[in-house]
């Protein structure tokens, strides 16, 4: 306890896994810690308390979260035994009852509602760790832990989870003597069954993104009934932030030099609809996404507004017209469709049909010329026959999405889909993913070739590193930097700047590599496209100088 007493303002480290929505939660936690007078360290080995912000959306994310927790717990044992360990986010939200037994290394489990109260939990973690060191600590077994998490939610009786084994008797009928040890104290659990928290402008926040772009969470939770998804269980019902509160945050970000506002929630197109469901006479007056986009577009400054995580069921003619009317809204829309076959859409409970989707995509492209459409699909979903998969492949080739990702179906315990007949073997799911990405690969090269000769406005990220330039043959078909189909293709040489166009969201889409430089990071520039790889573009400085557009 002496170390705790001599360190009233502990240093805290944080590792955040998962999506941009999780990243915003991490930024809020860091803001709360700094507001409480605590310091932040980028070196986990130097932290008095380490927070691991987890993802549990699919099995692969859950496994990554578990491995990260065990890795840092082992590092603590070697380097800093008194370090407190907190696990936050979706994993404890999903398994709040089981995790304290399965992960005895953890001092505090916290849910998504507690992000603003994290400073109190840091002190609690230090106290728990100090008490735990005076006992015989237990260790988690990775294989047993992952197997148990995979079983949870499948309707197993509670009695089976708490089996108690008595010591065996010897051949004389005697039990072995009881060894007296101090049992470690149970970890603290601060997780609400049904989250309700939503941040506001007054919530302290320490941004983890570069200065020139930010994620703006406009809502939390989800009301959709998708049969493959557990997000409503993890994040609660949909709840929108007040429009003026979002605008106030955006205004401050732009004043700080932000040039791209990425609007995020579980479904940005649902924004404001939760108020309409609760309202009566005033329902027509409640703001929606169109009102929010117009309010953000009216802010002074030179910046992009990017729309992420939209649901096809909630696109309207008004939304299409609003994007077309607002020059600051990037000509880009992220709209996960998940499938196109009627039977699969029904089994997934996507609230759409093939005819509706095809009509919507045609109306969006007609109403917003030059828009880049990003989507994702799930292959190998229960009931997906070869014919239904073939229909999806044909659809991708026909529609020619500018950006596309594919997920092999993940069978999640506790979802409707997990209980469905017609489960597709894992190897076949992966095979179908590769086939669909191969079809998109052909489309993507043709889309990239269509940019050659055009002049683009781009947002400069900075100078390309040697490692980035050496990645010119990265074969990831969803992410990465430069990709070359020809194994013998030349690598980029010389000095390049890395930038993104309107068609490229941070982290998930392609890049524009500009020969020459340097160009100021975090500012706009106009360049000419002179070449392409599978998913990325190469540009050059016109007349030896790119037209640099400083924000006014």
Pairing of strands 39-40, 11-16: parallel
Q: In order along the chain (552 residues), what is the average pLDDT of each group of 10 residues?
A: 55 95 96 96 96 91 93 94 96 91 93 94 95 78 77 43 36 44 69 88 93 96 94 92 97 97 97 80 74 98 97 97 98 97 98 98 98 98 98 98 96 92 97 97 94 95 78 37 38 79 93 86 94 88 57 40
Q: Which pLDDT does position 161 carry in this prediction?
A: 32
Which token pair is 58?
């699919």
Handedness of CA 453, 547, 467, 259 (dihedral sign): negative
Which token pair is 135?
């006992």
Closest CA relative to residue 212, chosen from 497, 468, 503, 506: 506
CA dist., res. 517 & res. 442, Å (int): 31
Q: Which pLDDT does position 50 carry in this prediction?
A: 98
Residue with tokens 């992966």: 430
Q: Which residues is 531 bridged to in the sheet?
A: 538
Q: Which pLDDT does position 331 carry in this prediction?
A: 97
The answer to whether 268 and 308 have CB atoms below 8 angstroms apart is: yes
Q: Which pLDDT does position 1 carry in this prediction?
A: 36
Q: What's the CATH number of domain 2-152+185-190, 3.40.50.620, 3.40.50.1000, 3.40.50.12160, 3.20.20.150?
A: 3.40.50.12160
Q: Which pLDDT does position 183 carry in this prediction?
A: 53
Query: What predicted TM-score, i.e. pTM, was given to this entire model?
Result: 0.86
Share of the chain above pLDDT 90, in %: 69
CA dist., res. 375 & res. 478, Å (int): 11
Residue with tokens 């029904």: 346
Using CA atoms, how far residue 105 sits from 29, 52, 82, in Å, is 21, 13, 12
Domain range summary for the chain, segments of one domain joined by +: 2-152+185-190, 213-449, 455-549
Extract the runs of DSSP E, i.e. beta strands, from 46-199.
Answer: 49-54, 84-89, 108-110, 188-190
Half-sphere exposure of 409 (CA within 13 A, CB side): 29
Closest CA relative to residue 439, chosen from 484, 409, 404: 404
Is the CATH number of domain 213-449 3.40.630.30? no
Mention every residue, 6+ apart, whose C-beta is less than 8 A from residue 456: 501, 512, 526, 527, 528, 529, 537, 539
Q: Which pLDDT does position 466 carry in this prediction?
A: 73
């Amino acid at each position: 306890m002496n170390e705790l007493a001599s360190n009233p303002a502990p240093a805290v480290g944080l590792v955040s896994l998962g999506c941009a929505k999780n990243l915003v939660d991490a930024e809020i936690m860091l803001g709360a810690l700094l507001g409480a007078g605590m310091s932040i360290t980028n070196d986990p080995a130097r932290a008095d308390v380490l927070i691991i912000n987890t993802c549990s959306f699919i099995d692969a994310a859950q496994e990554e979260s578990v491995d990260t927790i065990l890795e840092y717990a082992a590092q603590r044992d070697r380097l800093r035994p008194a370090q407190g360990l907190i696990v936050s986010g979706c994993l404890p939200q999903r398994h709040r009852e089981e995790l304290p037994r399965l992960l005895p290394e953890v001092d505090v489990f916290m849910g998504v509602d507690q992000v603003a109260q994290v400073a109190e939990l840091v002190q609690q973690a230090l106290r728990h760790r100090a008490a735990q060191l005076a006992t015989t600590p237990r260790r988690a077994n990775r294989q047993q832990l992952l197997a148990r998490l995979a079983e949870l939610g499948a309707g197993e009786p509670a009695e089976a989870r708490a089996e108690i084994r008595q010591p065996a008797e010897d051949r004389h009928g005697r039990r072995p003597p009881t060894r007296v040890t101090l049992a470690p104290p149970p970890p603290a659990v601060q997780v609400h069954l049904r989250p309700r928290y939503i941040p506001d402008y007054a919530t302290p926040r320490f941004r983890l993104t570069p200065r020139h772009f930010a994620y703006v969470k406009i809502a939390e939770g989800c009301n959709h009934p998708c049969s493959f998804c557990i997000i409503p269980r993890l994040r609660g019902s949909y709840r929108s932030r007040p429009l003026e509160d979002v605008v106030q945050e955006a205004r401050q970000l732009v004043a700080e030099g932000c040039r791209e506002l990425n609007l995020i929630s579980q479904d940005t197109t649902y924004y404001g609809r939760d108020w309409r469901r609760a309202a009566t006479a005033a329902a027509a007056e409640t703001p929606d996404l169109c009102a929010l986009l117009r309010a953000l577009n009216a802010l002074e400054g030179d910046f992009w507004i990017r729309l992420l995580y939209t649901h096809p069921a909630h696109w309207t003619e008004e939304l299409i017209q609003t994007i077309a009317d607002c020059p600051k809204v990037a000509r880009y829309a992220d709209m996960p469709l998940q499938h196109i076959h009627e039977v699969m859409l029904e089994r997934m409970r996507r609230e759409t049909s093939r005819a509706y989707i095809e009509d919507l995509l045609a109306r969006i492209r007609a109403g917003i010329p030059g828009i880049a459409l990003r989507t994702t699909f799930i292959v190998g979903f229960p009931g997906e026959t070869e014919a239904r998969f073939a229909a999806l492949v044909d659809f991708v080739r026909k529609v020619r999405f500018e950006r596309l990702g594919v997920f092999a179906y993940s069978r999640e315990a506790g979802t409707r889909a997990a209980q469905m007949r017609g489960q597709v073997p894992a190897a076949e799911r992966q095979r179908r993913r590769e086939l669909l990405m191969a079809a998109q690969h052909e489309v993507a090269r043709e889309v990239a070739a269509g940019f050659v000769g055009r002049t683009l406005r781009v947002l400069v990220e900075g100078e390309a590193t040697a490692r980035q330039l050496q990645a010119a043959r990265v074969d990831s078909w969803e992410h990465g930097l430069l990709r070359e189909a020809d194994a013998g293709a030349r690598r980029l040489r010389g000095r390049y700047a890395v930038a993104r166009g309107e068609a490229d969201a941070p982290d998930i889409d392609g890049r524009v590599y500009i020969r020459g430089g340097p160009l100021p990071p975090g500012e706009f520039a106009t360049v000419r496209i002179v070449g392409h790889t599978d998913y990325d573009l190469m540009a050059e400085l016109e007349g030896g100088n790119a037209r640099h557009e400083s924000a006014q």
